[in-house]
Structure 1
Amino acid sequence: MQPAAAVSLATSTNAAVVILVEGESDQGAVEAMARRQGIDLQGARILVVPMGGASGIARFVELLGDRGLGLPLVGLYDEAEIGYVRRALERAGWFPRYLGSRQDLFEDVDARAGLAALGFHACVVDLEDELIRALGAEAVLAVVAAEHELQRFQTLAQQPDHRGEPVEAQLHRFLGTRSGRKIHYPPLLVEALPPGSEPACLVQVLRSAVALIPQA
């Protein structure tokens, strides 16, 4: 989604809180986790915005946050993209304004604790990796089989470049080999999670968003 389109959507839906995510696969997973937890995103006026990658986050923060629509923002990002997120929030003046005495958190090497204090939560490696680890390879394969794609996965796993890799790595590759597959599977994997195994990043970003809903 382009930043201007996000502004238009936030305005037309009267959004109260925005969750920024990198892509549509993350959006699907967040929305599925909200359903799982009984959170009515539409009723709570929480809008999930896919940015098309973390590199453009600064513009979304500028247009949707304090210097634009003035909406509370939280987010989900892949740990490798932490630099984009940190620089965007720093540029927007979030550190002294929102962290106050906790600004020392940003002296940490990875700054993840500081970003989490601001409502921006990291996926360790990425969301697909989080879901594969949370479910386990056997359960992910069961989801793939239910979607009638087990043979396609086995074909990929036997390719010379992937033969001998851990099955978790093969599954990660499989889920990302087609854009449609990358979007299709995360909600299914969220739905398949056993109680108590939910990835912390998904739980925390929703908790951060709910905490920012304006009180009547």
Structure 2
Amino acid sequence: MSSKQKTLKGSFSLCGKGLHTGLSLTVTFNPAPENSGYKIQRIDIDGMPTIQAIAENVVDTQRGTVLGKDDVRVSTIEHGMSALYAMGIDNCLIQVNGPEFPILDGSAALYVQKINEIGVEEQNAPKDWYIIRHKIEVKDEETGSCITILPDEEFSLTAMCSFNSKFINSQFATLDCVEKFAEEIAPARTFVFVRDIEPLLKANLIKGGDLDNAIVIYEKQTTQERLDSLADMLKVER
């Protein structure tokens, strides 16, 4: 593994609608100088403010990751951020013309594809490693979520989740090494239970959700009338 920082060899753009806003959006990934990290610029706002994509700027995690600084917000960044990290990009300026990244097909696959097409360029500065020397655990008592970080020679992840469903109850997945991200993780798609759609819409979310950018899970046999009702909610052509 290279010990030098990396950026993109050139720029690329992806266009589509926002999962939560339903807006038509374009996000552009650009090369960036050494030691700049990931920066997201809202080019649709006067002054084109920039938010550093760091944990301290995360302001919400309801159905997506939202960054915020002062009154500026940008959401649904998780697929793009994971692709940049997994593909070894340290520095990138991301410009978006709205309050969220486009959802595309609901996965990180297109981000990985574009990064591979444009290429990666090694820079002169050394990577700034964060070394885990002892166990770290963070819990969210409200949701029951827990992250445990352990020292290791390599980067690996094990994720476990549990849903109140007889079809998707307790599940786990492991990424042994980050080089497998493109094949094993990037194609994983956003999903939603039918029972959650109406509450999400009432919460002013998933206005851009449809069957092209999310997998909809039915937990029991349904009628054509119910299918038509779902299609109306998601504005899907029947």
TM-score (norm. length: structure 1): 0.30
More helix by share: 1
Q: Which has the larger radius of gyration?
A: 2
TM-score (norm. length: structure 2): 0.28
